[in-house]
Amino acid sequence: MIHLGAISETTATDGDLVIETNFRLSMRLLDWCTADAVPLIYASSAATYGDGSGGFSDDNSPQALAGLAPLNLYGKSKARFDLAAVERARKGGAMPPQWAGLKFFNVFGPNEYHKGDMRSVLAKVFPSAKAGQAVRLFKSDRPDIAGGEIVRDFVYVEDAAKVVLWLIDHPNVSGIYNVGTGKARSFDDMMIAMWKALGREPKIERIDIPPELAGRYQYFTEARMERLRAAGYDASFMPLETAVERYVTQYLDRPDPYR
């Protein structure tokens, strides 16, 4: 079973709904996979790391997982399930023959169009960029970080899918693993790559972070990839510029973005 569905809105406010959808349903799926001996691969999230002040190590110890401080309900629900799965496994409780939680970092790429505000910034700004308008990126509301220094570990969806497929082919691998490139890049870098793919000069404007995200916004994410590499995953991850060019030229800048 590959379970990637969730309420992923970082601004969600209905705690009961988020916990029911992201935690309790996941627990029921874990129990079902255990009872029927079905491998379970599920999506966790880099949102579990909160503001990143504690680092981005995918340490599987219950103590490390319990010490995370997510900034929103989405991250809290994912962290809660990760901890429940690890504690059950550490205590020798019944588990599926394989179980793997993937802490996806900033995944972007084709077929994310249904995600509304949770689709990638690139997908959101592309129509205005195509029309020749400037793209709007957040200013920093922290004095120690400039607007152009807000960075993420952007990982192309093809690479994220390859990790899932690798786990299917390696049923002996269980645990919680980061999925990112291991290299943080700025939103400016992504936008400049988009403009280059369009053959145009970059146009970037700064806007204030909306009030609902103030104090709950990640300024830096960068996956530690040692554990996944140690488990045997040796494929490379696509460089940001290559991934953006592929996304723009093969999908976003075509009449049918699904091809």
Active-site residue, selected from the candidate residues 42, 78, 113, 115: 115
Residues in the chain: 259
Active-site annotation holds for 42 = no
Residues 6+ away with beta carbon under 8 Å from 90: 62
Instruction: Look up residue 93 and give its amino acid.
Output: G
R_g of the chain, CA atoms, integer Å = 19
Pairing between β-strand 185-186 and β-strand 151-152 as defined by DSSP bridges: antiparallel
Residue found under tokens 């990790």: 163
Active-site residue, selected from the candidate residues 74, 217, 247, 251: 74
- Which runs of E-coded beta strand occur in 12-157? 40-45, 99-104, 106-108, 135-138, 151-152, 154-156
Query: Residue 178 carries which DSSP code?
Result: E
CA torsion sign for 146, 192, 213, 103 is negative
Active site residues: 74, 115
